Structure 1
Amino acid sequence: MAPHHSSTAVGTRARTARANRRDWANLTAGPAGLIAEAVLADDVAGYLRFRSVCGMWRRCTEPPHAHGSLDSRFHPRRWIMLPEVFAANVDRRDFLNVSTGERIRVDLPELRDQLVIGATSGGLLVLLCGNNTRDMHLLNPLTRQLTALPNAASLLRGQENITWLSELEKLQVSSAGLADSSTVALYFDDRKMELAVAKPGDERWSCRPRPEPGFIISALSFANRFYCASKKGINVVDAIAAVKQPQLAVVVEEGEPTHESYLVDNDDELIRVQQAPVGTKTPRYHAHRVDLAVGQMVRIYDLRGRAVFVGDDGRSVSVHAGLSSSIKADTVYWCKCSGDGTLGIAAYHVKNGWTTWNLHAWPGSMVDYLSRYVCRSEDTVVPAPTHRCRIFKVAATVAGPRKRKGKRKRKANSKVIGNDWVN
């Protein structure tokens, strides 16, 4: 016979369960603050979602706008903006987290009449006003904070009579980031100028002319410092000494010059991927871990299960191999975009030494997204000088509060299954 439960006993257990249930909505400031700090340490996107859950959690945490726009705690991490051609419509742009595969869509009216001329490795965007003012800004696409930068006219000194398209080409930023907590650094792959630094509020950029062709091969913002790979080793921008022009301090000195050298943030570890010397056997690219503490580079034969995409102008991104079944771990994908937009990709496995040439990705696949990002293909839509430039507007699924409590949002896929390669 089934045991008999009195209504009194059932009611007591129900009241006890309700009493022991945690009231998350009324979480006090202390526990809520600790949780928010832990979430913020991972990524500001999670922090913004935490604040959007309810009014109590929002009141218990500080808004990002209460801090300076260059406070790196509130900067995106490992987000890249997808090319506009793949956006849902002309008013929206998608962002991809290269570690988790999550995609978000953000509405940014701040980008109206702006040109996106560069990006940091974490996801900040360098903007140029699409009219004759040449105003520049640094935009945080998740918190929607704008940082005013010096006018671009100081970057074009002595080149005032060039055409609009030539001017825009010279202002394309190969790499951008923070040189310290208050200094923005830009690297240009230009024949006359290679580095520029400035602080918010400065009247003009402090520019460093190129001493010789190809002196700096690539640059990367890492741990709030701006590192440059040159023919002779690795340098860091000394923002304190950059009064008249950016100064470089030697971090790692190397006597073996190379024409292809890429700095990569490999999941919070700084590595350098470099073309092997002429005459050596495969793999074509060697990888080294940069030990900043002792000023040395250590040869490594794996990428910690990750893959690295590099472009022909120095941009790089490290991704988790699980983003796509077509992305292999411990592999360097070298990408080049031709004039007609066709992508050519070669794969070099740093552990096994095999090489695959002439790869082509399906349009809209994960490999295609990543390849176009490192090639800076379609990062910017170039308007005619007489037309307004509308790069993108994205709907704030991250920054705003939730509109409905009961309706759950569809979870983004963490993996893209399928073959990205064109046979």
Structure 2
Amino acid sequence: MSPLASMAAELVELVGWRVLAAGDLLDYVRFRAVCAHSWSSTIHPRGHGITDSRFHPRRWMMLPDGHRLHLEDGRKRFLNLDTGVFVRPRVPLLDDHCVLCSVEGLLLMQRQHGDQDEDPICLLHPFTGDTAKFPPVTYRTIVRLFGSTARLNSHNNGSAYLLPGRVTASLTVDAEGFIMITVVLLDVSRVLFATTKDKQWRLSAWSFSPNGSTISSRGKFYMLQPKPTSSVELQILQIDPPRSEKIYGSSSSSFPAPKVIAICPTGMFNALFELVECDSEILLVDSSDYVLSKRMAVYKIADLIQGRVTPLTSIGDKALLVGVRRSGNVIGRNLSVSLKAMPTIAGLENQG
């Protein structure tokens, strides 16, 4: 008999939360399966996969389509970026939906066929099957928000507007469990936001340059943007989500304006800067000298905010996978991975 069977239910539940905090969702699921008592004493992730951030699969990534990375029976391969473990769940919603981007490990999706004016934008937890639905985003949606003079892409009238690689998103869940998604649109350089209670999307009153690196982390966006009064300096902006008491308002001004939190160190507009999250820290990567020296300068945003302009000498057992953009055509996904998960990278590091 498992030692857990003799423990108080409250203590088993506490141990379960500790397992989840120290590991990830897979460790928690295995803990629950130890015995009937651990199963009944802990919260099932299904039904809480989106509203409870502790169950978000932040360090899991679905491998891209093609190259025979997925199984022929429809199951998809997901990789844990810390451990290198693969899982192969069946995700039925992917049969007729495409993934627009990943949000805290959740999948923001749009139906590929059907009535695009009726089919909602869907947020899916790939392991629990939990979903949250938001209003559709179509050509007509953009015309309604921007008018006939808006810079629109070449989709047919009424067709789905969002495209993979041209959006990034952040997720916010308030204390009452209301879910809000915020979407950066590269094509029109604006930000949309909606809750699961809304019938229409709302628009930020401000715009941005589409060429700067943009990432989301725990409900906030971080974005590189040119300084308005300078042709060479880049600012680091933080964009907070609308406050819960305002998200049901009709005014676009309810979305807070971006705030400048730091300036890029070298101050050169043509420097190759990217943002990436690593161990809950937002990092700034300068790869300007990579072609010549094969080295990058990495800064903590927290240090830059305090005025400490000193590159990191180590990022521990992590490697940064940074796709340096050459134009504003796509929003790339920069990653931090453990060397344990990617032994090939560790081998290249040792050779270098």
Shorter-normalised TM-score: what interval? Answer: 0.7 to 0.9
Note if 1:290 corresponds to 2:301.
yes
Q: Which has the higher contact order (CA 8 A, sep 6+)?
A: 1
Secondary structure in 2 matching 1:35: helix
Which whole-Å CA distance do the structure 1 matches of 2:262 and 2:298 have between them? Answer: 15
Deviation at 1:260, TM superposition (A): 3.5
Secondary structure in 1 matching 2:17: helix
Q: Deviations over 1:364-385 (max 9, x none)?
A: xxxxxxxxxxxxxxxxxxxxxx
Q: Which structure carries more strand by proportion?
A: 1
Which whole-Å CA distance do the structure 1 matches of 2:304 and 2:44 have between them? Answer: 35
Note if 1:38 corresponds to 2:56.
no
Which residue type is aligned with residue 142 of structure 1?
Answer: F
The equivalent position to 1:309 in structure 2, one of 317, 321, 325, is: 321
Which residue type is aligned with residue 156 of structure 1?
Answer: I
The equivalent position to 2:86 in structure 1, one of 78, 103, 127, is: 103
Q: How many residues align?
A: 310
Which whole-Å CA distance do the structure 2 matches of 1:161 and 1:209 have between them? Answer: 24
Secondary structure in 2 matching 1:322: coil
TM-score calculated relative to the size of structure 2: 0.74
Structure ID, larger Rg: 1
TM-score calculated relative to the size of structure 1: 0.63
Residue number in structure 2 paired with 1:156: 142
Note if 1:57 corresponds to 2:75.
no
Contact 1:69 / 1:145 at 8 angstroms: preserved in 2?
yes
Which whole-Å CA distance do the structure 2 matches of 1:92 and 1:71 have between them? Answer: 25
Deviation at 1:29, TM superposition (A): 0.3
Which whole-Å CA distance do the structure 2 matches of 1:60 and 1:177 have between them? Answer: 32
Which residue type is aligned with residue 345 of structure 2?
Answer: I
Which whole-Å CA distance do the structure 1 matches of 2:185 and 2:192 have between them? Answer: 8
Q: Deviations over 1:222-241 (max 9, x none)?
A: 24422222232221223237
Contact 2:122 / 2:132 at 8 angstroms: preserved in 1?
yes
Deviation at 1:169, TM superposition (A): 6.3
Pair 258,47 (structure 1): closer, same or farther in 2 beyond 3 Å:
farther
Percent of matched pairs sharing the same residue: 25
Which whole-Å CA distance do the structure 1 matches of 2:161 and 2:72 have between them? Answer: 25
Residue number in structure 1 paired with 2:110: 128
Pair 282,23 (structure 1): closer, same or farther in 2 beyond 3 Å:
closer
Pair 226,48 (structure 1): closer, same or farther in 2 beyond 3 Å:
farther
Deviation at 1:80, TM superposition (A): 0.3
Secondary structure in 2 matching 1:132: coil
Deviation at 1:143, TM superposition (A): 2.0
Which whole-Å CA distance do the structure 1 matches of 2:59 and 2:92 have between them? Answer: 23
* Superposed CA RMSD: 3.5
Which whole-Å CA distance do the structure 1 matches of 2:208 and 2:17 have between them? Answer: 46
Secondary structure in 1 matching 2:38: helix
Which whole-Å CA distance do the structure 1 matches of 2:347 and 2:219 have between them? Answer: 28
Deviation at 1:277, TM superposition (A): 7.6
Residue number in structure 2 paired with 1:240: 242
Residue number in structure 2 paired with 1:72: 53
Which residue type is aligned with residue 11 of structure 2?
Answer: P
Residue number in structure 2 paired with 1:13: none
Q: Deviations over 1:14-47 (max 9, x none)?
A: xxxxxxx764345430221121010121322222
- In structure 1, the gaps of 5 or more residues are 1-20, 332-348, 355-423
- In structure 2, the gaps of 5 or more residues are 227-233, 326-330
Note if 1:322 corresponds to 2:308.
no
Secondary structure in 1 matching 2:32: helix
* Bigger mean CA offset, 67-76 vs 288-297: 288-297
Secondary structure in 2 matching 1:302: coil
Which whole-Å CA distance do the structure 1 matches of 2:38 and 2:208 have between them? Answer: 54
Trace 1:228-267 onto structure 2 (pairs within 5 A).
228-231=223-226, 232-240=234-242, 243-244=251-252, 246=255, 247-254=257-264, 255-258=267-270, 260-267=272-279
Pair 274,294 (structure 1): closer, same or farther in 2 beyond 3 Å:
closer
Pair 315,260 (structure 1): closer, same or farther in 2 beyond 3 Å:
farther
